Chain A
Amino acid sequence: MLYALILAAATISAIQAIRGKRLITSTLWLAGVSALLSVFFYLMRAPLVAVIELSVGAGLVTVLFVFAISVAGEEGMDQPSLLPKPLAWVLVSFSALILGWFLLPQTGNSSPASEPSFATIFWEYRGLDVLIQVVLIFAGVLGLLGLLAEAKAPLDHPMADEFAAKRERALREMEAQEMDIHEG
Chain B
Amino acid sequence: MDLSIINISLIGVICLLAVGLYGLLILRNLIKVVIALQIIVKAALLGLITAGAARDQINLTQSLAVTVIVADTVVAVIGMAFAVQVRRRLGTLDIRDLSSLRG
Interface pair A37/B32, CB less than 8 Å apart? no
Across the interface, A18 reaches (CB within 8 A) one of B1, B11, B23, B60, namely B23
A44: interface (CB < 8 Å): yes
Chain B contacts with A in 13-55, Cβ cutoff 8 A: 13-23, 25-29, 31-32, 34-36, 38-39, 42, 45-46, 49-50, 52-55
Could you tell me the distance in whole angstroms from the C-beta of A78 to the nearest C-beta in chain B?
11
Given A3-B8, A33-B39, A99-B17, CB of A44 within 8 Å of CB of B81: no
Task: A57 to B32: give the CA distance in the assembly, Å.
Answer: 16
A180: interface (CB < 8 Å): no
Interface of A is mostly: helix
Interface pair B31/A105, CB less than 8 Å apart? no
Could you tell me the distance in whole angstroms from the C-beta of B34 to the nearest C-beta in chain A?
8
Which residue of A is nearest B74, CB measured?
A140
State the interface size on chain A (CB cutoff 8 A). 91
Across the interface, A7 reaches (CB within 8 A) one of B15, B29, B82, B93, namely B15
Task: A174 to B18: give the CA distance in the assembly, Å.
Answer: 59
Task: A12 to B16: give the CA distance in the assembly, Å.
Answer: 9
Interface pair A7/B8, CB less than 8 Å apart? yes
Across the interface, A111 reaches (CB within 8 A) one of B10, B18, B55, namely B55
Given A48-B62, A68-B80, CB of A82 within 8 Å of CB of B31: no
Interface pair A143/B88, CB less than 8 Å apart? no
Across the interface, B63 reaches (CB within 8 A) one of A34, A45, A60, A121, namely A121
Interface of A toward B, CB cutoff 8 Å:
3-4, 7, 10-11, 14-15, 17-18, 23, 26-27, 30, 33-34, 37, 40-41, 44-46, 48-49, 52-53, 56-57, 60-61, 64-65, 67-69, 71-73, 75, 77, 79-83, 85, 88-89, 91-93, 95-96, 99-100, 103-113, 115-118, 121-122, 125-126, 129, 132-133, 136-137, 139-140, 143-144, 146-147, 149, 151, 153, 155-156, 158-159
